[in-house]
Structure formats: C-alpha cells, structure tokens
Structure 1
Amino acid sequence: MDPTSALAAPDRHRLLLPDVPALVVGARSVTLLTPDGEVESLGRDAAAERLRRGSLGAGGLLLCHARAVARKLGLDSLRAFDLLELFAFVRPASFCLPTPRGLAEALGLPRPHDAEGEALALVAAARRLLAELTDPERPDRTGKAGLDPAAVAWAMGEWAWTPAVLAALGEPHGPAGDRERRAFQVWARIKDWQAEAPEPPPGHLAVDPSEARRRLAELVAAGSNAEPRPQQSDYASAVTHAFTPRDLPGAPNLVLAEAGTGVGKTLGYLAPATLWAEKNKGPVWISTYTRQLQHQIDKELDRLHPDPEKKARKVVIRKGRENYLCLLNLEEASAAARTMPQVAVAMGLMARWVAVTRDGDMQGGDFPGWLVDLLGRGRTLGLADRRGECVFSACPHYQKCFIEKSVRRARRADIVVANHALVMVQAALGGGDDAYVPSRFVFDEGHHVFDAADNAFAGHLTAVETAELRRWLLGAEVSGRSRARGLRRRVEDLIGGDEEAVQLLDHIAHAARQLPGEAWGQRVHGGEPQGPVERFLALVRQQVYARAAGADGPYSLETEARPPVEGLLEAAAELDSALQKLIRPLEALSARLAEMLDEGADELEAETRRRLDAVSRSLKRRAAMEVAGWRQMLQELGGETPPAFVDWFGIERIDGRDVDVGMYRHWVDPTVPFAASVGAQAHGMVVTSATLTDGTGDVEQDWQAAQQRTGAVHLGKPALRATVPSPFDYARQTRVLVVTDVRKDDLAQVAAAYRELFLAAGGGGLGLFTAISRLKAVHEKIALPLEQAGIPLLAQHLDGMDVPTLVDIFRGEHDACLLGTDAVRDGVDVPGRSLRLIVFDRVPWPRPDILHRARREYFDRKARARRYDDMITRLRLRQAFGRLVRRADDTGVFVLLDPMMPSRLRGAFPEGVELHRVGLAEAVRATRAFLVHPDGQAGAIPDGEA
C-alpha cells in the first residue's frame, strides 16, 4: 500500500487504494492498467511468463476472481487484491456477478464495454467498496447487524485487503481491547429457536375453483407488472382438484397439468395452495428439481407476504442437511484459523456471511456461489452438515442451528418449498428429520419426477457408500481428517449406563471395521484388498476392466453383473455374512432405543424423546433399507435379477481416474416406489411442467407417456389431466433450423458452425453438447474469434465455476455465449436478448447404457411399439427449445447441427413451428436476418425442406 494514494475521507477514515496494476484477461490477450493510468496490452503467454518471473505484479494485482484469472493464464496462483473477496466482506450475503462488469453493475457504476473499461471499473469498484466502510451508520458499525468489521479484518491476518479495510474503518492499528478475540464468534449473535407444542393435523376443507381464481387475481395484481392471463386462471382452476378431500386411502387426488411456457403456472398453483394452507392450518409442500426454481418460487411469494417477518413464518425453503452451514463446524474451523493463517481469510468471509444470512443455506439462497471457488470447498461447503457428524441436542449451538430452525419452521409454515430428492427420501423414511408427512404436494418440473425417483430409490453397493457407512458408525479414525463423530459419541449421553445398549454399540463397532477404511482405493486398485468388502470390490473391478468397452479411455465404465468372474460369488457370500453381523446389532439397538423411549415416557424431556426417536429410526433405516438392500443384491447375484430391477457393475471415473467401484441396482420403473411412498401418503398431488406429455401427435399416446413418467399409472385413482397452451406465438417468434451439410463427427466443421452462428447472432448464444469432450474441442477453436468480435465466451467444465454462476453471468452479459451440457439445459432461465440462439451439436439420443437398455425393453414392450428412445429425445429437445422464449417479446433461433435428425422428432417443437433443413451458409444468413428483423421478410427461409 502506498499512503500517497490515499484519498481524503471524513474524520480519521481514509481510502487507501492498493498501488498495483489492475488486470483483465481475455481469450488471448491481457489488459493492464497501471496505478499511473497507463494501459498496456499483452499476449496471454507473455503476461503469464512475466508473472512467473515476478517482473509483473510483484506487489500484487487488482483483479476480479483470482483463481479464474490464474487458470486462464495457466498459473497455480496469483498474488492478488481480489475484488470479489472485498465485495463479500463489505456486502455479505449480497449478489454480484463474478466479473468486472458484474461488479460495476452491483455497485451502481457505469457498465464497461471493453477490456480497458473493465480495468477502470476494477479501480472504481475498489474505491466504492472501501468508501462504504467509512459510513459510521452502517448496521455492522453500530452493532445492529453483522460482525465487528474491524475485528474480523484484523483477525483475517495476512489478507491483502486488511490495511485498506482498517484504514477505511478508522482503525488502522486494529481494534481496541479484546475485540479481536471474539472476531469470528458469530454464533453468539444468532437468536435461539424456542420449542413449541406439536401442531394438530390439518383440516380437509376444499378449495373451490372460483376461490382460486380470486386469489390468483390478488397475486397478479400485487406484482409490478400486473398482467391477467385467461390461461393462467384456467390452470389455477384445474389444479384445485388436488386440494379437495381424499375419498380412498392410498389414492390421492392427482392432477397432471401441462402448462406451456408463459402461462404462469407458479402463481397458478400457488393460488389454491396458499388458500388450502390458510383454510386447513397445514403446509403444502412445493417440490422442484432445481435449486434455481426453489428460489424463484420463494420470490413470487413476496406478492402474498411483502412483510419479510411475516413471510419468514409463512414460507420456508427446505433442503437436505448437507446444504446448510453447521455452526459447530464453523467454530472448530475458526479455532484452527488461529494457528493456520491460510484459513483465517476464509473464516473471516464465512463469518461475515453467517452473521446476515437468511437461513444458512450454502447451495443457493444468499450464499455467493463463487466464494466456493475463491476459498476452496473445504473452507466453504465443507463447513456444511454431513451425515454422521451431527450430535443434535448435545451440540452447544443446537438451539441456534440453521437446520433445526428450518425443520421447526416448516411444521408451522403455509408453504414449504423443497426439492424432489428431499420429498422422496422423507416419504420413504416416514417423515425424515421430524417424522412429519405432508398431505398436499405440488411437483413443479414434473418431467424430472422419474429421474429424481431413480436417484432416490436406487441401491449402490460401492466403495464410497460402504466407506461412508463406516464413517457414520465409527466417526473419524485418522486425526485431523474429519471431525465426524461416530455412533457411540452421538448416543452415549442418551443411553447412559444401559448395559444392553453399550454392548450393542461394541458389536456394531466390531462389525463396522469390516467396511472399507482410509486408502481403500490404493488397496483395491493395487491388488491387496483388506476385508470382505474390498475383496468383493476388487473382483468387481476385475470384471469391469475385463469386459467393458473403452477401458483405456477417460470415461466411466460398466458391464453386466452376470456371469460373474471366478471367485466373485464366494466373495459375495463372504460379504453377505459380514453384513449380517452388522445388521443384527443395528436392528437390536434401534429396538432398544425405542424401548427406552417407552420406558421413560413419563419423565423424558421433549428434545431427548425426539433424539431417541430420530436415532432409532436412522438405525432402522440404515439396517432395513441400506444394508438389507445390499444383502439382497449379493444373495441374488448367483441367480437372476428380479424383473423389477436392473443390476450392473461399474467404475466411476473423473478425468480418467477411478473414484468409485461397485454394484448398482436400479428400479426399471422408479415411479413404482415413488407411487408407493409419496403417492400412498398424499391426499392431493399436482405434477406439472411445460413438457409432461410426449409429442407424437396422438393425444392418448402422449398422455400415456406422461402417466408412465410420473407414476400416475401406479396410483389407485385416475389422474385429472389438464393442458393449458402457451400464449406465445412460436411460429412468429422462433425459427428451427436443421443444418444438413455439417458432419457431426468432424469437430472442426462443428466448431466452424458454432463460430459462424454465434457471430451471426452477435452473441446471446447457448451451445449445447452431448459430450464434454466435444464441448472442450469446440471451445478451443472458437474462443479467440469470438473475443475479437467482442463476444465473451463462457464454458461449463472450463471456467471453474458452478452452473448457476455461469448462467448468472450469461444472463447479465447480454451478448455473451455459453457452452454447456445437460445441466445447463435444465438450469437456464434467461428471458430477453441474453438468450436468442440455441445450437445443439447433434440429436440428443439417450446414452445406450445397461440401465437405458433395460428400460427401453420394458417400456417398449408395454407400449407394443419402439418409441421409448424417441420419447426421451423429444423431451430433451422440447426442454432445450423451451429455454428460447420466456417472455412475450422474446425471439430466437434453434439450430440442430445434425443432418440425421428424423422427421418423427418434429413433435418436439410447438404446433405451427416449421422445421427447415438448410445448409450452414443459409442457416447463418437466416439467423442474422431473423434476429435483426424478426417480423420482416428478412426472417423468411427461402430454401430447404420445411
């Protein structure tokens, strides 16, 4: 820091800007802005070499997202004044795109339009953020909110921004007194939750369609853009069927509702859902597949509950325990920061966030996703709760715990916004965390119910799963690796001196040591397995490598489980015997804890009763569902797989490195257990999406596909079917082009097509790929020409950011392009010109793996036709096309670079939209013309087959 760069500020506060160059990295060039205001442009290789030698940025660099910049330059790290770290400190739990332009917009600065402007914006952003700290009325300065910023900055030790922050705060020599000692103790500021009596069961009053329409009108009017839509009212009226009393046990009132994009289905189902909750004093659970939609729904509920305090009582977002920060983890990591200075920066920024977060949710919500990349997973997401660590009421922070707060709030809320995975797991467990089972569900993104059920009800007898069970039972066995507490630590205060329970814990610990421990991979891969699990897995690995295609490649491998290699059945029998010795004491301890609950009915405190019940049920779940499922798989390995299931052996790989190995069992039709668990408990269900039905053109056949994919065929009562068409004029607003002269197996041709189409659109392009390797190859070839045209290029798997952050940047840049795979296709919601072109590298046929083969045979046999592959492919195309138009004034072009696109897949696109087969040159001209004049003749496609 150079004191001569300090700017005048009120009182003793000073703005002390770092006297270092600002740096911005493009696809092939680097722009530097010196403290004297001179601008220099360097090639990336030259800049990287100077940085390695120390002739550039020896005192540090002012930049945005140091780790991403280092990756672009091929460096391990950079000495940097990272503005994202300063933003996270000054504005914790606030949103900002992790780019120079994003910082400028978040801080109300002019939006830069070139690299030089971005470098200037970095300097202006630093000045603006430090100036905010000089305000003596800031809540964290007055003690009204947050943590003492001077104490935290001082405790962060060697953080690059510490001198500037302390100068701005007027405490350049650090906080007075012992404030620094308490700097990270954010848990002391969090309010306790209070135990309350259990809620009575909800009532059964119906919601009338006219009531739902009136509530919908109120919700629409409460928004900034009041826009009544007849289709939305029709939709709200239709879904009220799910909010009427159930007549038969196990037969919910089910509504399958397909609502085209633009109908406004979120408000459409929230209208009857909120009414039912108010009338019956019970919660409705809204379930989504993506976290992004969870938070969109939460935001829509601001219309009904504009007062944040009231909304906090009425609306709760629920996720799995692993999504929330654990205060005990934070406390222990903060203590380590005193002896590990490299941890102090992360703990300071995490503590600043915890002090102001709404609910401690680290997977979405108000936690900046880019902090994970900046600080590392271990110091961010690693502070979340993990299976086997929580000690519940034995934890000193139990009554401040974010997870426990969300569980309790959900019992009394009107609307609980959850996700498919949590809903299914809780239903399978009979209530999960709190033994509460809702009676009304809305499954938005209902086309993903099949996939969510597939994940929730599968059995994986793998190295990772068995090692995790050992950790859950025994806790951390190697000092310093984890703070995981084993089963004994979690229950010792509950069982006291009960001899039977203590003896059972000894038996469990002995049996658990047969499960894989530390370094299992080295032993299994090296041919020296220890214990029955590792011996079984070593033979599974042998079978996969002997029979799977592509064993020399980088991708995951699989092969049929039968016939087994020599010795595998004997190893399976040995493992089955070992698991039997584990399951018996698990079941016995579960039963003993239940007995203790009964014996102490007249004297146990409420929290002790809840813990006894929770531990008893979790032991039963592990024994009856997980370990028993593994035993069944092993016992049936010598014969035939039951017809409801499909088995296989597999090796999971990341970048060619084996990370897991094992035996897998999935339901052929996973909606069977979904219907048996969620469906049997529910009184009313709505399953809704813009893409529920198939697109064959045969109405009954299309609805049959929806009923199969949602499990409606397995419920005891026929579903009410509702279709509400989109209000958009897709024929006018979109074009669909199939390029006929690009060889999809020639990546040079594919890359050229992407390049020319993105340039023709002037950016705003989403490139979708069926394989990561194809994405990377195309990115390498098109990054430079797009940068030269002023079009930023983002890429999943290459930019080192999570998908939501990449999508946020894409949405905010307006003229950027984004390359991604399935995760991007499912997670994109980008209205406006930021997304005006979608290019798919080829027809997204299902991957022909063992599981898909079994399902194709099963569903095609039931349908007596070969259409399962087509159904899956049309769904993927419909989902991708649906990203293109999100508002009435959106326009866009959808391009498929696959001349082999069969005409029977045309039903993936809305009625009235023509599919044009054209050459690449014509596709480029049509794209440019349509996106410039979407309503004019220039947008017509004169040639090619329609």
Structure 2
Amino acid sequence: MIDPAALPALHASHGGIWLREGSRTMGVAKGQAIARTAETPTLLLNAPLTGQRLGYPDLNGLDLLELWAFVHPARFLVPTPKGLAEALDLPQPAQEGDIPALLQMAARALLDRLDSPEWKEREGGWTAAQALHRLRWPWSPLVAPRISRPAEAERWLFSKLPEWEEAAPRPAPRTVAMEEEAVLARLDSLTGPSAEPRPGQRAYAAAAMEAFRPRSHRDQPNMLLAEAGTGIGKTLGYLAPASLWAAQAQGTVWISTYTKALQRQLDRESLRLFPDPATAARRVVVRKGRENYLCLLNLEDALQGGFAGRAAILAQLVARWAAFSKDGDMVGGDLPGWLAILFRRNGSTALTDRRGECIYAGCPHYRKCFIERSARASAEADIVIANHALVMINAARGRETGQRPQRIVFDEGHHLFDAADSTFSVALSGQEAIELRRWVMGPEGGSRGRRRGLAARLSDLASYDEEGGEAIRTAVEAARALPADDWLKRIVAGEPFGPLEELLATVRGTVFARAADSGEADAGYGLETELAEPDGPLVEAAQEAAIALDALLKPLVRLSKRLEAVLEDAPDWLDGAARARIEGAIGSLGWRRDLISAWLALLARIGGPADPDFVDWMTVDRVEGREYDIGLHRHWLDPTRPLAEAVLQPAQGVIVTSATLKGGGDWSNAEARSGVTHLPHSAERFEAASPFDYPDRAEVLIVTDIKRGDIAAMSGAYARLIEASGGGTLGLFTAIRRLRAVHARIADRLARAGLPLYAQHVDPMDTGTLVDIFRDDPRASLLGTDALRDGVDVPGHSLRLVVMEGVPWSKPTVLHAARRLAGGGSAYDDRLIRARLAQAFGRLIRRAEDKGSFVILSAAMPSRLLSAFPPGTPIRRLTLDEAIIAVSAKMQARDMQDAGLGDRTTLGHQGSEPGMR
C-alpha cells in the first residue's frame, strides 16, 4: 500500500506557498507548485481554494476533504487545517509551514480508519469504493485496497433507507386554555435548575402564551408582536408555551425562520424539549422547500451513467452521505456545505428537484423519498421548523391543506416583509418561461437526463381518458410558443422565434433605449426601467404573447378537471400509488395555472391603466456586462396585504418576534411590515430590552476622514482596524465590487501578520462554511454583504469588531422608488436604514461577556439614524487614527478581563467617552 507520508503535500495561502516532499518542507513559487501538482498526486486541503491562491482554478490533487466525505459522510468538519487537526485529534500546526506535514498525518489517520473495526460508516464503503475506482477517483489507489470485500452483499442506500408509512389524518387540535404557572414551569424545565433567573424571558413566555389561547375573533388570529432584545432568551421563551400547547392540544406549532442558521439552532434546541434524539426526531421536524432535498430518482439516474467525469464522483460521495443523512437536506443540512464547491457545483443542483418534475407515486423510490417523509412526519410532529417562504407558499397555493399552519411563530420577524415580497411577486422572464416549456414538453432534440414532460408523467391517463389525452397534446403544442434553448442568443442576434421571444426582444430594446438616455447602458450592470408609457411595438408584442399563454392555460385547466374526474371515477388501475401521483399532478398543474394567470394579468397591464396596488417594471439582468436573463416583473406595493389574507387571517394564533422588530423606530413600523395593518383588529404588543450592558460592553465609532468612493483609503482603514483588533472582524459591504477590491488589496498584508481573511463572492465556499471557519478561528476575519449582516450568530471572542463601509442606503430601484413615495419619502428610507444598522450592530454582542466595537466608515452618517443603536451605547465621531486607538484599547481591555485582571486601567485614556467607566 502507498504510504501517505511518501506523497508530496501542498499548502497555499495569502501568506505564502509551502511544499513538503519526504521529510523536507520548503517555500516555493506559484509556478513550481502548479507544476508539481501536475506531475505527481499531491495532498491538498480544499483544492478550489488552494487553486485560487495559486491563480490556477483548475488545480487537482488528492483533496483531503473528498477523503473525509468518503470516510465520514454526514459528519461535520470545519474545512481548515485547524478544523482537520481537531477532528482527527492531531497536533495543531504552530505556523503555516507546518501545515503540509499535518496534511500527511491527516491522510494517514483517515486511511487507517478504513482498517479499523471502529469505523462506524463502513456499511456501503466497499461498494462505493469500487464504483469510485471505476470512475478513476484520485483517492481510489489508496482507498480501495484498504477495504476488504464483505462476506455478504452490502445493504446499500436504496435498500437501506427506511420507508415512511401512511397514517390516518390527524384529528383537529383540542381546544385548551393554558395556565401561566404551567407555562413558566415548562420554561424552568427547559432552562434547567442551574440557569440564572431571566425576568425578561419569563415575561416573554407569559406574553407568548396569549397566541395559544382559543381565538377571540372570527376574522383574525390571536396575534402578538414581540420585540425581545438580544440576550432575553426568546427562543425558549416561545418554545415553552408552544411545546406545552402542542402536548395538551395534540396539535402542531410551526416555527418559521428566515435564515438557515436559525433553523439549525432551533433543531439543536429541540433536544431540550426531548432529550432522547430518537424522540426529538419524531416530535420536531425541519421542513424546507423541495429544492433543498436530495431527489433519489435523480441520484439513481446519476449513479447509472447520467453523470460523467467529476460530476459522477460527486454523485457517489452524495450517495455515501445519503445513506447516513438525518433527513436528506442538501442545503443547510448535514451534507457538508463545502462538498459541492469541491466539484465546482458540477451536478449538485441536478440532484435535487429544482424543476418541479416530481412524479410522486410513479417514482420507484416514492416510499423512501426524503421530501415525502418530511411532509408526513410534520403532520404528526409537535414542532415544525420551517422558513417564511415555505409557510407562505403552502398557504398561497393551497397544498397540504390538512397541514395548513394554524399556530405560527415567525422568528426573525423583521424579515417578514421581504419574504412576502419575494413569495407574492411575479416574474415573466426568459429563464422562467423556458422552465415552464421543459415542464410541459420534456426533453427536446439531443437533451439528456431524467426530464419528463406531461405526456410521460401522465401516460396512463392519456391512454385511459381520451379527453385528458387530447388536453395533454394540446398543451404540448401550445408550449412550443415559449422560449426554447438558446433563446437569449437569438434575441441578442435580433432573431427571436415565437411570440414570447418577440416580447422579450422588445423588452430588451426598450430597456436599452431608456438606459441610453440615463447613461447606464455601458456600466455593465443590470438594467431596469418602469413599465410605463409603453410604445406600440411593446403593446403589440404583449398582446401576441398573451394570446399564446392563454392557448396554453386552457388545456391545462381542462387537464386539471379531467384528473379530478378520474379521482372521482376511480377506474380499476387507480390504486393508492396512482391516486397519490394524480393528486400530485393536480397540485403541480395548479401551481402552473396560477403562474400563467399571473403572467396574463401582468401583460394585460401593458398599454392599459396602472394598478395602484402593484409596481411593474422591465429588466435586462447582467453580470459584468454579460446578459443572462430578460423579463417583466410585478410586485405588490405592500406585500403584507396578501400575507395577511393568505397566511395570517386563516391562522388561529400568530407570534411575530425579533430582536429588532421595530427596526429602531416605533410600533407603527412593526405593524406595517408584519401585515397587522391589514387585519380588522390590532395585535398585542410585548417589548423587553436586552439585558446586556451596552454602555460598558460596546461602542459605536463613526470614522469621519475616509472619503466616500476612495477604495485605497477604505482598504487601508479595513486593514488597520483588523490589525488593531487582532482579527475577529466582520466587514460588511453594500456592493460586491467594493468588497472584492478591498479584499484584493489587504488579504496578503493581513496574512503576513498571521490574520487570515475570508470573503463572500471571492473565496470558493458557501456562506455557511465561511461562517463556520470564521467562528472556529479567533484570528480570522470575514468580509460579506447583506447575508452576513442578518444571518451570523458568532458569540465570543471570534467576533469582536464589526466594520461597515458606510451607511447602508437602499439601492435606487424602480420598486424602492415606488415604495419610498408611498411610505413617506425620506422617513421610509430612514426606517429601513435604522433596521439594517440595528441588525448589523446585533452581530457584535451575542452574550453577556462579549465586548467589542462597531465602526462605520462614513463622514456623512446622519445623527437621526443613531437611534438604531441600543440606548446608552457610546457613540463617537472621530478620525481613523483615533478609531484605531479606541479599538486597540477595547481589545486590550477584553484580553485583561479574560485574564481576570479587570478593564479599568486600560480605559483611562478614554475618559472623555460618554458612558464608559
């Protein structure tokens, strides 16, 4: 067998490049490193990231992350040398030059586990190793010889996965009235006997109980708006009454989040409710959209030759994971977020149901489907952890009516407006239209894969029911009017084909013509313009497109009716599986009918009077000058109106909660952005301020000598501030272009100081992995955009400084301009900015012992926006040099406090700072 220690190992960072051969490690140049990996299989950790550091993105080698995914599928790993050493119980490298030796030790440790009887993930290993060997996986020569052939045939994946079972519909929840003493007793059991008293949490739990009382009004749920500052403990505060009500009423409570990070946190907290993991798995279920889960039929197609090259290797590693996964969630679940990145996302999206082509009971793996199992488990669960979009979509589309949420807790409630805005919007674009064509028609020409059209999915109906078969054939013929493959190339070349492509070509011409007047056409970014004052060609193109869409809608409506009639007639071939498949087809058809109807309503607007409830506009989507989509868009001016009608009013009880629900303003802002203003009665309110000592633990520093748009000065400011804090910095940007420019200027400088820097939209890693790395290394820093402003929970020393490039003003889009006009002009903008500042500041202090600084690089920070920060927080305007001194002092104070020395002396030179002791 090959000894891993005999293989060369390579590590590259912004600080340098090190190559180890035999027992000797040396610094090498980029060209030498690239040539060596091309000549000899070389040990790497995260090949895409290493390749980026070398300026050679096609770098390949023996990636230890791929080996980890084979040996320990569904097991968490921070994909850094430190994380690898901790996971394998190996010595931490003292310096970067020691990392190649660590890679050799880690390879040996992982390969040795294949020989060990303690290897818990042995089942299926031999079968997977043989398949990977045939695919020429680089690790195969080292892996395959170490796994002996099992004496009996392995029970592998499709035979191993458990089947779900049908159950009778759950009875309606009982009507119960909980007592406050019982709710507080449940809270005490969740927090434990050693927990310190939290009066705010107890008051929160008592207030949340009101949402679980029998409904008082026929036309409105019992509704509570609750702003609970960071540190109150709102999660357990609402879980106490929610879990008690679920147990007493035998009903289900839906807890809805906006970020995957909070979903994972809530899933972990479920062990407080049910300490036994098996019980917790039954009583607490995580629900996501279908596109998040592994599709077993797509996986089978990939394993049987549907994928080739690196994508086929990825499919085998995903199959290894699927056999040990908790729930088959590929996005935010126990599939390592870095796995798909190792394969440049080649094939990962094809393993989920992103096109809505599920054939339900017609699938051979239907009884083992992760998606179906999750949906059925949620019907019997006490707690369902979902996201805002799923809750709204299910309500709006009427799917799973027996499971329609009746008791809902919207955590991260400050995002409810944005989630509703996305859910209830309409986009008639080239990408959306071609997906509809593929759904109706299936594969065309030489296209490969498992894609099936209506005729294939409903072939038995077509042969049984003449009218249904005719509707399918008519729909397929009508779908030919939709954009086809290479539609964008034809439009750019001025050769559109069919009425929908003609419409998109006319939209593109209108957008470019209006952009030319404003000078934006040559900037390379996406373009948009109001759908106002359309000219004759646009009106005519819209009418022709509407005729074509109506011709498609009519047979789909007829087909839906025939499917419903088949269910009523119950022919001989309609067994339980066929019934389930037809019910699924009816739901899928309903979704497409609603989509086409919304498109027709949008097209009817062109040339007619404006609808004051909606905002309509046209776009040409571009990235760095490259076009990728063209479309017409319609959003509700106030999306909380359909939210109130479709989601809130049918519910029995609703809690909308957040640490920043009022967004730094008053309750009217919370009511307007949560849908309360569209309900006939007002909601109850609860407010509890954070218990943290912000005057002592935090400060806001507004740097006044960095000129807006000066990238060099901004880069220098970020570098100096990160150096002053010794890392642990979250840098927030409003533009990806500026983020990339700053990262390029400062990454090498910080690496030489031993301060790793990572960045969204730069490093080839998903956001969740970047946050895991940031959390794991107190000297690391992370640059990002909005997703990090709202979705990062990194308590402790790993996050001690937040730096914003400036005031997070809203982008001047058509939609924002319309809402600004309707919402009070600058007052509307101020409400949004205060909410963003409050969310960004909330990343800094996550627990009582945290201490840090919040820096804004803006000389023009308006004083009226400073109410976004907690009362009493010290706020100073100062130069960059003074900010560096302040940040350094804050870090020294924290270090001394951590050492038990207190922090009074270190703050002596800041005596003029208000609120500091």
Indicate whether 1:829 and 2:807 are aligned: no
Cα deviation digits, residues 865-913 of structure 1 (max 9, x gap):
7411000001000000000011111001000000100000111100001
Which segment drifts farther, 207-216 or 475-484? Answer: 475-484
Preserved contact between residue 793 and residue 816 of structure 1 (Cα < 8 Å): yes
Q: Deviations over 1:283-325 (max 9, x none)?
A: 1110000111111101001111121221121011000000000
Letter of the 1:84 partner, please give it: L
One-letter amino acid matched to 1:38? R
For the 8 Å contact 2:461–2:469, the answer to whether it is kept is no
Match of 1:608 among 555, 578, 592: 578
Task: Give me the identity figure in percent.
Answer: 47
Equivalent position to 1:69, from 43, 50, 60: 50
Out of 814, 824, 833, which is 1:873 matched to?
833
Deviations 1:801-857 (A, max 9, x none): 111111110000111011111111112110011100011001001111110011111
The SS at the match of 1:131 is helix
Residues in 2 aligned to 1:274 and 1:178: alpha-carbon distance in whole angstroms: 45
Partners of 1:637 and 1:944 in 2: how far apart?
A: 59
The one-letter code matched in structure 1 to 2:500 is V
Aligned to 1:917: 877
Counterpart contact for 1:694–1:706, Cα < 8 Å: yes
Q: Secondary structure at the match of 1:518?
A: coil
Quote the offset at 1:159 in angstroms: 1.6
Deviates more, 1:557-566 or 1:361-370: 557-566
Structure 1, unaligned stretches of length 5 or more?
7-15, 697-701
Correspondence for 1:200:
171
User: Which of 394, 402, 406 is matched with 1:439 structurally?
Assistant: 406
TM-aligned CA distance change 1:894 to 1:420, over 3 Å: same
Point out the more displaced range, 159-168 or 270-279. 159-168
* 1:476-509 deviation line (CA, Å, top 9, x unaligned): 2243443211122222234541011001111111
The TM-score normalised by the length of structure 2 is: 0.95
Query: What 5-or-longer segments of structure 2 have no aligned partner?
Result: 895-902
Corresponding residue to 2:888 among 913, 925, 928? 928
CA RMSD of aligned residues (A): 2.1
For the residue of structure 2 that corresponds to 1:410, the secondary structure is: helix
* Corresponding residue to 2:116 among 111, 135, 138: 135
CA separation in 2, counterparts of 1:595 and 1:64? Answer: 58
C-alpha distance in structure 2 between counterparts of 1:140 and 1:152, whole Å:
16
Deviations 1:195-222 (A, max 9, x none): 1221112222133322221111111118
Contact 2:254–2:409 under 8 Å retained in 1: yes
1-side partners of 2:179 and 2:443: how far apart?
55
- Residue 419 (str. 1) matches residue 387 (str. 2): yes
Amino acid at match of 2:770: L
Alignment of 1:416-495 (within 5 A): 416-430=384-398, 432-433=399-400, 436-494=403-461
The answer (yes or no) to whether the contact 1:150–1:166 under 8 Å persists in 2 is no
Tell me the equivalent position of 1:699: none
Structure 1: distance between partners of 2:135 and 2:346:
19
What is the 5 A alignment of 1:875-894? 875-894=835-854
Superposed CA deviations along residues 724-761 of structure 1, whole A, max 9, x for unmatched, are: 11110011000110001111211111111111110000
Q: Does 1:38 align with 2:24?
A: yes
The one-letter amino acid paired with 1:569 is V
User: Which residue is equivalent to 1:285?
Assistant: 254
Whether 1:345 and 2:313 are equivalent positions in the alignment is yes
Query: Residue 246 of structure 2 contacts residue 382 of structure 2 at CA under 8 Å; is this kept in 1?
Result: yes
Query: Is the CA contact (8 Å cut-off) linking 1:407 and 1:434 kept in structure 2?
Result: no
Is 1:30–1:41's contact at 8 Å kept on the other side of the alignment? Answer: yes
Q: Which one of 521, 529, 534 corresponds to residue 564 of structure 1?
A: 534
**Which digits, 9 at most, give the CA deviation of each residue in 1:1-52, with x for residues without a partner?**
xx5xx6xxxxxxxxx31622211112152012222x212113xxx32x2245
Q: Which is further off, 595-604 or 674-683?
A: 595-604
Kindly indicate whether the alpha-carbon contact (under 8 Å) linking 1:330 and 1:383 is maintained by their aligned counterparts in 2: yes
Matched position secondary structure for 1:356? coil
3-state SS of paired residue (1:379): coil
User: Partner of 1:585: helix, strand, or coil?
Assistant: helix
TM-score, with structure 1 as normaliser:
0.92
The aligned residue for residue 161 of structure 2 is: 190
Match of 1:214 in 2: 185
Q: Distance in 1 between matches of 2:380 and 2:342?
A: 37
Give the Cα separation in 1 of the matches to 2:117 and 2:906: 59
Q: Distance in 2 between matches of 1:190 and 1:348?
A: 16
For residue 699 of structure 2, the aligned residue among 712, 735, 739 is 735
1:55 and 1:615 mapped to 2: Cα distance? Answer: 55
Q: Is the CA contact (8 Å cut-off) linking 1:192 and 1:400 kept in structure 2?
A: yes
Q: Which stretch of structure 1 is more off in the superposition, 375-384 or 752-761?
A: 375-384
2:561 aligned partner, one-letter code = A
Q: Is the CA contact (8 Å cut-off) linking 1:153 and 1:166 kept in structure 2?
A: no
1:658 and 2:627 correspond: yes
Question: Hey, what's the Cα distance between the residues in 2 that align with 1:176 and 1:528?
Answer: 60
The residue correspondences of 1:815-854 to structure 2 (distance < 5 A) are 815-854=779-818
Alignment-mate amino acid for residue 454 of structure 2 = L
Quick one: which amino acid aligns to residue 80 of structure 2? T
Q: Residue 782 of structure 1: CA displacement? A: 0.8
Helix, strand or coil at the partner of 1:460: strand
* Alignment CA distance shift 1:866-1:552 (3 Å): closer
Counterpart in the other structure of 1:811: 775
Q: Secondary structure at the match of 1:303?
A: helix
CA contact (8 A) 1:918 1:944 kept: no
Work out the CA distance in 1 between the residues paired with 2:198 and 2:891: 27
1:374 aligns with 2:374: no
Paired letter, 1:326: C
Measure, in 1, the Cα distance between the counterparts of 2:580 and 2:639: 32
Instruction: Count residues with an aligned counterpart.
Output: 903
AA aligned to 1:932 is Q
The within-5 A match list for 1:652-731 is 652-696=621-665, 702-731=666-695
Match of 2:269 in 1: 300
Question: Within 2, Cα distance between the matches of 1:808 and 1:284?
Answer: 30
Is residue 2:89 matched to residue 1:99?
Answer: no
- Could you tell me which amino acid in structure 2 is paired with residue 113 of structure 1? A
Asked if residue 273 in structure 1 is aligned to residue 242 in structure 2, the reply is yes
Q: Do the aligned residues in 1 keep the contact of 2:43 with 2:61 (CA within 8 Å)?
A: yes
* CA distance 1:621–1:340, shift in 2 (3 Å): closer
- Specify whether residues 157 and 535 from structure 1 end up closer, same or farther in structure 2 by C-alpha distance, changes over 3 A only: closer
Matched, 1:359 2:323: no
Relative to structure 1, the CA distance from residue 568 to residue 238 in structure 2 (aligned partners, 3 Å threshold; closer, same or farther) is same
The aligned counterpart of 1:636 is: 605
CA distance in 1, matches of 2:395, 2:556: 22
Which residue of 515, 518, 530 maps to 2:497?
530
**SS of the residue 2:633 aligns to:** strand
Distance 1:382 1:39 in 2: 41
Equivalent position SS for 1:567: helix
